[in-house]
Each structure stands twice: as structure tokens, then as C-alpha cells.
Structure 1
Amino acid sequence: MVHVREMDGADIEAVSTIRVRGWQAAYAGMVPQTYLDAMTVEGDAVQRRQLFSQPLRKSRDLVAHADRGLAGWICFGPCRGEMPVLGRAGEIYALYVSPDLIGQGIGRRLLGEAHTQMKSQGFEASALWVLSGNQRARRFYERAGYQADGATQDDVYDEITLTELRYLRVL
């Protein structure tokens, strides 16, 4: 059984573990291995503590708790860019599930709860960005009702430029 709840400060180490291991598993072969190898749970936790402690932060963090502990994490909030949609748009900033638990509905539960909370906050649509080569994530979001809208942005990882696609969904 999976329980979704608000993240608290005590969850930071576990969330950082999920995020780093998630990056290393999901982006192997897409993001340069040197970049993935340089990621550490400790370094990520330092960043996460700084972000989490900002008094005026507008993002929300939820965690999925399963039998063996934290199994997933999602972060969302107001859309950070211009949106070609009517009404207010939210954005999924990050969604990660422990690599060994992918396919068990944890990501779907986190995403569903984020959608519910975004809608209750007055958002009418949700956006997110996905690496163009991340077919697994693209299929996941498409099954959840997201569609690529044609917008792209480039990110550079160890001097390698990778393209992200924007996906949108009406809430």
C-alpha cells in the first residue's frame, strides 16, 4: 500500500537518494555518464535543504511512502514560463520513483495527488518538461493525459546539449 503525504525536513535524505538514483537509472545513455557519476546524495541533500527552507517558496513537495519507506517524490508549483493556455497553469518540476519500484503505480499516485492539489489551488492546466530521448517518461505522461505542445528547451550536461519537450494537460 502506498500513502502520499506532504514532504517534511526529515525526508530530505531519502528524497535525495530517490532523485539521484532516479537520474542515474533513467538518464543512463542520454545524459553523459560523467555527469551522472558526479551526482551524490549528499550534494543533492544540501541543495534540497536550501530549497526546502526558503520561507517564500511556492513549490509543494509530496512523497509516497510504501512498506519499506519512501518510494517516490514529486515537486510542483506555479508554471515558470509563458504558457499558450487559457487560465492559470501549474508545473510539475520533478517526479521520481525509486528505480526498483517503477511500474507499481507510485508515480501515477503522486501525479494524481499533485493534479488534485494544483486544481484546488486554482490551476487550470499543468505543464512539465521531459528529455526528448526519455521514451519511458514520455509514454508515462502521455498515458496521464499530457501532450507535447511543440515547445522545446535545451539543457547542457558536461558540454552535451540535450533537448527537452514541453508537455501540457488540462486539469
Structure 2
Amino acid sequence: MTLADCDRVSEIRVRGWQSAYRGLMPQPYLDGLSVTEDAERRRSLFTRAPAHMVNLVAEDPDGEVVGWACHGPYRDGERLTADAELYAIYVDTGRFGTGVGQALLQESVRRCSAAGHGRMLLWVLRGNTRARRFYERAGFAADGAEEASEVDGVSVPEVRYARALAG
């Protein structure tokens, strides 16, 4: 990923939230998401990202960014652990089911394994059955950890998934 990719990544991310989280988060919150504001945030995060944070993009044959993933060490509160974490993965909603997400996830898993991480963890909304099936097909399983965040006064429960990495 480059700084120039941030606008497209934000478009993919915001449209992904609006599609995947419909019915799982308050609709006014989803409707209020701004690609422009997210892109500003993404540029700021990208320019000051620590070296351990890896941003990947997938491009179509014409060079258009069609997906984004971000990974690094697992965050346990303020502490980074020896495990890896998939922080985010989003695919252009028009490219669902085309293998873009699978390719991004496989590359993140490959890189985390090569870096010597023993496990990869991720958080997914409990009600996001499509994403949960996607991760399960890739060898991830819920490990029993759960937490909830609050979005516009509504509790949004997440479950943690884990997968052992080769290495």
C-alpha cells in the first residue's frame, strides 16, 4: 500500500462497513460514515504507522485497488504480544466472492508465519455470519474470547478467532 492508495482504501472500507454491518450496528451511524473523513484518518495513520504494521492492497489487472488488509502483532490492551493479529480486511463490495479477500488473507497469514508468529488472531462481529464463514474456511475458529464495543449507544459484540501458523 502507498499513501496514494488511502482514498480508494477508505472508499472500500466505508462501503464495506455499510454493507457488512447493516443490521448489526445502528443504521444512522453507518449512514453517517464519510469516505472523505476516513481517508484523512487513513492518511494520518499510514504516515505514522509503526514498522510492525503491514498494509497490503490487492489490485485488479488494470491496477485499481480492490481490497485492503492490515496486520501486525496482536494487541493485548497497550501491550503487543508474540501472536499476530489481522487488524482489518475489506474487499470492494462488487468483488465479493472473487477470491480477492482470500488472496489478501493468505498473504497476511504467509507474512505473519514467515515473521515467526505462532498464531494469528482477529476480531469479528458476532452477527457477521458471512465473515465468520470466510474465516472458518481459512482455518480460523472462535477461541471463546468475546468483547463488546459501543456504537451510538448500542452494544456491538465481537468474537475472537484464532489460527495456528506454520513456522
TM-score, normalising length: structure 1:
0.91
- Calculate percent identity across the aligned residue pairs: 46
> After alignment, is 48-57 or 127-136 more displaced?
48-57
Residues 24-39 of structure 1: pairs in structure 2 closer than 5 A: 24-39=18-33
Partner of 2:71: 76
TM-superposed CA distance for 1:57, in Å, is: 4.6
TM-superposed CA distance for 1:55, in Å, is: 5.6
State the distance in 1 between where 2:50 and 2:105 align: 23
Residues 36-115 of structure 1: pairs in structure 2 closer than 5 A: 36-54=30-48, 56-68=50-62, 69-81=64-76, 88-115=82-109
Instruction: State the secondary structure of the residue aligned to 1:80.
Output: strand
State the distance in 1 between where 2:49 and 2:69 align: 19
The one-letter amino acid of 2:129's match is Q
State the distance in 1 between where 2:51 and 2:43 align: 12
State the distance in 1 between where 2:60 and 2:20 align: 21
What runs of 5+ residues in structure 2 fail to find an aligned partner? none
Alpha-carbon RMSD across the aligned residues, in angstroms, is 1.4
Partner of 1:4: none
Could you list the per-position Cα deviations for residues 98-118 of structure 1 after superposition, in whole angstroms to 9, with x for gaps in the alignment? 111100000000000001111
Instruction: State the secondary structure of the residue aligned to 1:145.
Output: coil
State the distance in 2 between where 1:75 and 1:101 align: 18
The one-letter amino acid of 1:66's match is D
State the distance in 2 between where 1:57 and 1:44 align: 21
> In the alignment, is residue 140 of structure 1 matched against residue 134 of structure 2?
yes
TM-score, normalising length: structure 2:
0.93
Partner of 1:10: 4
1:25 and 1:55, CA in 2 relative to 1: closer, same or farther beyond 3 A? closer
TM-superposed CA distance for 1:56, in Å, is: 3.2
State the 4+ residue runs in structure 1 displaced beyond 2 angstroms. 55-58
What runs of 5+ residues in structure 1 fail to find an aligned partner? 1-6
